[in-house]
Structures are given as C-alpha cells and as structure tokens.
Amino acid sequence: MRGQGIWLRGISGFGMAFLYLPIIVLVVFSFNASRLSATWQGFSWHWYGVLWHDEALLAAAANSLWVAALSTSLVVLLGVPAAMGLERLRGRGRQALDTIFLLPLVLPEVMMGVALLLFFVMIQWPLSLATVVVGHAAFNLPVVIVMVRARLQKLDPRLEEAASDLGASAWQTFYRVTWPLVRPAVLGAALLAFTVSLDDFIVTFFVAGPGATTLPLRVYSMIKSGLSPEINALSSVLVLASMGLVGLSFVFQRR
Amino acid sequence: MNPWSSSKETEAGLDSRFRGWRLLGPGLLWTTVFCLLPMAVVLAVSLATRGTYGGVLWEFSLDNYRDLLHPLYGRIFGQSLLLAGVTTGICLALGFPLAYYIARLPPRRQALWLIFIMIPFWTNFLVRTYAWIFILRTEGLLNTVLMQLHLISTPLDLLYSNQAVLLGLVYGYLPFMVLPLYAAIERIDPALIEAAWDLYADRWSLFRRVLIPLTKPGIIAGCVLVFIPSLGAYLTPDLLGGARSMMIGNLIQHEYLVARDWPLGSALSILLMLIVMSSLLWYFTAQVPQTRERGEQ
C-alpha cells in the first residue's frame, strides 16, 4: 500500500487544487486595483466600495434575502410535519409518498423551471417575486423533509411513548419531547434551504417576473454584459456568505 | 379526552396513522400543486400545438415528438449525452483515487477532507462558473500568465468551446462523485485489501478484482449523480460554451423563451425527463440486489 502513496497523494492533491484554485484566484483578484482584471496592480478595497454603492445590486440582494426567508419559512412549516407524518406511515403508502416528495430533488432544474413557468402562465398567476418564493419552496421542500427525517429515525420511539403513557396530549408530546430533539436538525435544514434559495439561478430565471431581480439573476446579467472586477468582489462576498451559512448548518446538526 | 389512555391497543395504531396523514396533508398538497401538476401541464402541452403567436392550441397530436427526430435536435441530444458521459468518466477517474485516498486517512483528517470536498458544492454555482471565465478568457488569467512567461505570443482561444464546457461540468460535479465513492470505499474491510496483497495481487488486479466489485453500488451512485445534472446542465454550456456547444437545457430554454414554441419545448423536457428517469431506474435496480447480497452474508 505504501507504494501507492506518491501517485495517490499526487492525484488527490491535484483534485483539491482543481476544486479550490479557481475560487482562490477569484477572491485574490477581487482585491486587485487594476481595471484590466487579470494583471495584478496592487491591493485595493476599491471594488468592494463599488459594490456597496451599486443600488441595483443592493436591491437585488434585498430581494434575494426576502425570497430566501419567505421560502425557507414555508418549507419548514410544510416540511417538518410532513417528515413526522412520513415516519408514522408504514408499507406501500410510505414508499409511494417518498417517491413523490423526493421528485423535485431528481428532476433536472431546467425541467422544474419550465414546468413552473408553464403552470403559472396557465393559472394566470403573474410572474413576480411571489412566484419565485413558491418555486423555491417547491424544490426546497424535499431538502427539509430528508434532513428532519434523518433525525427522527435516530430518535428512540420510547420517548414519545413514555410521554403519552404519562398522560401528555399529542401536542404536549410534540412540544415538550419531539421538538427539542429535532430542533437542531430543523435549524440545519432551514439554513441549507436558505442557502440553496439564495444561490438558485435556473428556477428563478424562469419564474421571476420583470423587475423581480434576485442576486444570482443580477450576477448573471453582469457576467453577460462584460466582466469587471466588481463581479470578483461580489463573488467573494457570495462565497463567504454560503460558507458561513453552511458552516452554521453543520454546527447545528452536530448538536 | 386523551385518546392514548383508553383502549390503547386498538386505537393507538389507527390514531397515529390518521395523524400521520393529517401531518402529511399540507406538504403533500404543496408538492402536488407545485410539482406534480406543473409536470402534468408540461406533458399536456407537449401533446398540444403551437399557436400562431406563440401560445398553446389544444389540438392534440404527437407532432412535437415527431419533430424531435429532426437531425438538429438529434445532434444536440447526442452532444449532450456525449458531454455528460465524458464528464462522468473524468469525474470517476479523478474521483476514485481521491475518494480512496480520503478513506484511508486517519478519521479526523477524513472529516476535514470531506468538508473541503463539500464546500465548493455549497458555493454558488454561478460564481464557480464565472471563476473559469475569469481564468480562461482571451484576456484571462491563464493567457496573461502564459504571455508574461513568454510561453505563448498570442492568447489561446480556451473559452467558448466544448472543452471549456467539459472542464466546467467536471469542476461543478466532481464532489457528487467523490462522496458516494468515499462512503463505499470506507466500508471495505482493510483485511480484504491486505489479503489481496498477501496473495501477490498487483495494483491493477487489486483495483479490478477487489475494489471495483466491492464498491460497485458507490460507483453507480456517483455516476448517476454526476450524469443527471450534467445532462440537464444549463449554466455551464451557456456561459463557457460557444455557439455550437448547446446542450439539451439550453435548447429547452431557447424553445420556451426565445422561439416561444412551448409545445416543442415541453416535448424536449419530457424526453430529457425520460432519460433521467431511466438512468435512475437503472441505479435502483443495480442497488437493490447488491444490498440483498450483503444482507444474506
């Protein structure tokens, strides 16, 4: 096995470098003073200042945060009970429902986007930020269900039984026994759903109405209309934000 | 008042089942209305006819599916399948040694490496694709560096090609390959590998006759997880590809938003979904016997 060490380590190192170099390069060059973004001309915070004064961008960021907050609240309210309900079912019904609930996870995103677009047009619901919220809640629901169920499956069923044996009502059992135990998983799932919503481009691209610009839509149009180091700065902020959110989510799930 | 205290044996089961359905209700309704129903609409529209001004006429026919046989669409589907297939192959070739290396590290460092594999996966996909534009374009980082080193005199055309799309896809989906492979390799009993060495297996036969058979479910899982999103990719070919690098996702987007031919776009979506579903089906049929075998041992 030791003979494999060198080339295994080589390929693994290469794989990691491949994953990280582009991100690192992006962040480093966001501090570049030059307008010609690929030659280094000295350290500067300039492009972060530009970001901070870009009104359209800030409006898009505000939209993104609203959409993420609303769609996350929705999927938590729908997903936590659904996860608990699925755990109570047995047999074929559960299998069938599993498949239905997990469907959005395996559908190609483009398919999800066009399906929702067609649907909204057919029921004549004008495209807006509201349709974006609904779309995000549609693909994030399985995220919450999967993560909360993973936690529920690890719980000792005797805890809930003991609570009801001691005379707790169904609601009391949930509120005083089940909820404290699943809360970390729910928080973790909510943070992931929030991150996914914040990052989503494709579904948003299809179901956002005119004027309903989210941050990824704004980044996309910035990239399409010509590069500037401002995009590097924005990208660095987004990288940092997703890492922070995912890090927090891990912390909650560990508990 | 409390249903649990009286005649618990008979009622508790029914009651909990009833409550199960009540808890499921809102979520099920949501998924039905905003996922199943929209897909049913796509299916219905794929059987309808395009209106003169881009709307949908409810005259049912299979014409849209017949139109899919046009060589232009065939070329784009073929190219998408090829790009997704090659992406999967490269991810497997790169991901297997990486997963193997991680699985043989001490436990604490394993956790660290796994987190590092997952971080890019949670980083904005648009940003990660943009990073490659920044590196590969004509005035990009790579060309600048190569010119300053006097290795080339004129910038290379790296961006807007199928190769750039391939690079972007491998970059985007490598973590999907590494994670299931790691899970499969980590489960192998190290004694089996030592036994292979003791029996004078060389590296190739160790790989082919011990590692591959033992990690087959993980290999299949990784391949399906990379193949599906690669096949349906939209952003990568859109941003890194050239005029001839269109993939199915771009074609669907084009039919919907540019050509405004919703019925044809819907037929394309249904075809894409059928390919995705059949690869998933293959995945499940390949996984089930494997777990059963293990259960019997």
**Which candidate from B22, B128, B137 shows the least CB-CB separation from A22?**
B128
- DSSP letter, residue A208: P
Min mean pLDDT across B104-118, B138-152, B190-204, B278-292 is at B278-292
pLDDT at B201: 77
pLDDT at B13: 58
Q: How far is A45 from chain B (nearest CA, A)?
A: 19
Q: Is residue A146 part of a domain?
A: yes
CA–CA distance, A189 with A184 (Å, rounded to integer):
9
**Which candidate from B24, B42, B116 shows the least CB-CB separation from A97?**
B24
pLDDT at B42: 94
Q: Is residue A22 part of a domain?
A: no
pLDDT at B290 over 60: no
CA–CA distance, B279 with B286 (Å, rounded to integer):
10
pLDDT at B68 over 80: yes
pLDDT at B9 over 60: no
pLDDT at A41: 78
Instruction: Tell me whether residues A39 and B144 touch, CB distance under 8 A.
Output: yes
Q: How far is A25 from chain B (nearest CA, A)?
A: 8
Q: E strands along A113-170, which residues?
A: none
CATH number for A117: 1.10.3720.10
Instruction: Tell me whether residues A138 and B140 touch, CB distance under 8 A.
Output: no
B280 interface with A at CB cutoff 8 Å: yes
Q: How confident is the model at residue B214 (pLDDT cuts 50, 70, 90)?
A: confident
pLDDT at A246: 79
| Domains of chain A: total | 1
pLDDT at B198: 82
Whether the CB-CB separation of B231 and B84 falls below 8 Å is answered with yes
Residue B174: list chain A partners with CB under 8 A.
Answer: 15, 18-19
Interface test with B, best of A51, A100, A111 (most B CBs within 10 A): A111
Supply the ipTM of this predicted assembly. Answer: 0.86
pLDDT at B190: 81
Interface subset of A 129-148, CB within 8 angstroms of B? 134-135, 137-138, 141, 145
Which residue is associated with the tokens 């929702």? A116
Pick the more confident residue, B179 or A39: B179
- Helix (H) and strand (E) counts in chain A: 12, 0
Q: Give pLDDT tens digits for B51-66.
A: 777 778 888 888 889 8
Q: Is residue A72 part of a domain?
A: yes
B107-121 and B162-186 helices, crossing angle to 10°: 150
From first to last of the 255 residues of chain A, give the pLDDT tens digit.
444 578 888 888 999 999 999 999 888 888 887 776 677 877 888 888 888 888 888 999 999 999 999 999 999 999 999 998 888 887 777 888 888 888 888 888 999 999 999 999 999 899 999 999 999 999 999 999 998 988 888 888 888 888 888 888 888 888 888 888 888 889 989 988 998 999 899 999 999 988 889 999 999 998 888 777 888 899 899 888 888 887 887 787 776
Instruction: Tell me whether residues A243 and B122 touch, CB distance under 8 A.
Output: yes
B231 interface with A at CB cutoff 8 Å: yes
- DSSP letter, residue A32: B
pLDDT at A120: 94
Q: Categorise residue A226: left if φ over 0, alpha if ψ from -120 to 50, beta otherwise.
A: left
Whether the CB-CB separation of A12 and B98 falls below 8 Å is answered with yes
What are the b/e assignments for B247-270, b being 16+ CB within 10 Å?
Answer: bbbbbbbbbbeeeebbbbbbbbbb
B207 interface with A at CB cutoff 8 Å: no
Residue A189, domain extent = 54-254
- The encoded tokens of residue A111 equal 């398919």
HSE, CB side, 13 Å, CA atoms: give it for residue B118: 15
Min mean pLDDT across A11-25, B2-16, B234-248 is at B2-16
Q: Is residue A217 part of a domain?
A: yes
pLDDT at B295 over 70: no
Instruction: Tell me whether residues A89 and B20 touch, CB distance under 8 A.
Output: yes
Q: Is residue A240 part of a domain?
A: yes
What is the mean pLDDT of the segment spanning B185-191? 85
pLDDT at B15 over 80: no
The SS3 call for residue B57 is strand
The SS3 call for residue B32 is helix
CA–CA distance, B246 with B77 (Å, rounded to integer):
9
pLDDT at B5 over 60: no
CA–CA distance, B241 with B292 (Å, rounded to integer):
44
pLDDT at B29 over 90: yes
Q: State chain B's mean pLDDT as an integer.
A: 85
pLDDT at B169 over 90: yes
pLDDT at B6: 43
Q: Is residue A38 part of a domain?
A: no
- The encoded tokens of residue A166 equal 């001691």
Residue B139: list chain A partners with CB under 8 A.
Answer: 36-38
Q: Is residue A180 part of a domain?
A: yes
A9 backbone dihedrals φ, ψ, rounded to 5°: -65, -35
pLDDT at B297 over 50: no
Q: Is residue A119 part of a domain?
A: yes
The SS3 call for residue B56 is strand
Domains of chain B: 71-296 (1.10.3720.10)
pLDDT at A88: 81
Residue A246: list chain B partners with CB under 8 A.
Answer: 118-119, 122
Chain A nearest-CA residue for B178: A15
Q: How far is A161 from chain B (nearest CA, A)?
A: 9
Chain A nearest-CA residue for B147: A39
Q: Give pLDDT tens digits for B153-165.
A: 888 888 899 999 9
